[in-house]
Amino acid sequence: MSEIGNYELKPIASLLDFDLHSLIEQSKEDGFRFVERLVNDYKNGSNTFNREGEVLIGVFNEDGILVAIGGLNKDPFSKDNNIGRLRRFYVSKEVRRNGIGSLLVNRIIDEAKRYYEIVVLHTDTEQGDRFYRAIGFSRGDLYPGSTHYLVLNK
| Contact of 86 with 108, CB cutoff 8 Å | yes
Q: What is the pLDDT of residue 16?
A: 87
What's the pTM value of the predicted model, to 2 decimals? 0.90
User: How many Cβ atoms from other residues are within 10 Å of residue 96's Cβ?
Assistant: 14
Q: What is the pLDDT of residue 154?
A: 60
Q: What domains can be seen in the chain, in order of their start residue?
A: 2-151 (3.40.630.30)
pLDDT in tens, the chain (154 residues): 454 678 899 999 998 888 888 889 888 888 888 888 899 999 999 999 999 999 999 999 888 888 999 999 999 999 999 999 999 998 888 878 888 999 999 999 999 999 999 999 999 889 899 999 999 999 998 999 999 999 997 6
